[in-house]
Structure 1
Amino acid sequence: MIIARWSIDARFGHKTVVVESLKKWLTDIGSQIGWTPPNSRLLTGSVGMHESTVQTEVMLNDLAELSTAWDKLATIEAHKQWSKDLEPYVVSGSPRWEILRLL
């Protein structure tokens, strides 16, 4: 099992917009690639990291399952538009993926 973690930093004063947008993304778009409440969650920075950090984590079987999800995501027009709509609220260069293995 792996955890795929996507992190972004919200621009100052826009964290609520980013969080609400990611909640809607998980419901409307993430669900189309199998990322649902039983295997995914949203987190935000508190102690020891930037308060502006917002993360989405998803638990998957392996890297092949993640690759399949990413391939399908690339075909969803709503995801492309969502990305463009979110861009003004995100610190440029902050989005990143981290993949962790469960022991």
Structure 2
Amino acid sequence: MMIARWSIEARFGHKPEVIAEMKRWLRDIGAQVGWSEQRVRLLSGSVGAKESTILSEIEIADLAELDAAWHKLGTLPDHAAWSKALEPHVVSGTQRWEIFRIIG
């Protein structure tokens, strides 16, 4: 098992909008690639982390599953539209993927 972590930075004063868009993505788009609410958790920066950071952690079986999900996301018009809706609320260029192995 692995955790795929996607993070992004909200623009100053836009954190509520980013969180709302992330929740909408999970409900409307993530489910289309098999990323149910039981497999994903959303986090935001608090102590020792930037308050503007929004994280999405997705539990995946392996890198093949992640690759298949990314491929399918690239074909979904809803995902492209969501990205355009999110853009005004985030700091450009801050999106980042990190992949972790679960060891215990």
The residue that corresponds to 1:88 in the other structure is 88
Q: CA RMSD in A?
A: 0.5
Question: SS where residue 70 of structure 2 aligns?
Answer: helix
Question: How far apart, in 1, do the equivalents of 2:61 and 2:73 lie?
Answer: 18
Question: How far apart, in 2, do the equivalents of 1:45 and 1:52 lie?
Answer: 6
| % same residue | 58
Q: Deviations over 1:16-46 (max 9, x none)?
A: 0000000000000000001111111100000
Residue pairs, 1:1-103, within 5 angstroms: 1-103=1-103
Question: Under a length normalisation based on structure 2, what TM-score does the superposition of the two structures give?
Answer: 0.97
Structure 1: gaps of 5 or more residues:
none
Question: SS where residue 71 of structure 2 aligns?
Answer: helix
Q: Deviations over 1:36-85 (max 9, x none)?
A: 11111100000111000001110000000000000000000010011011
Runs of 4+ in structure 1 off by over 2 angstroms are none
Q: What letter corresponds to residue 81 of structure 1 in structure 2?
A: A
Question: Under a length normalisation based on structure 1, what TM-score does the superposition of the two structures give?
Answer: 0.98
Structure 2: gaps of 5 or more residues:
none
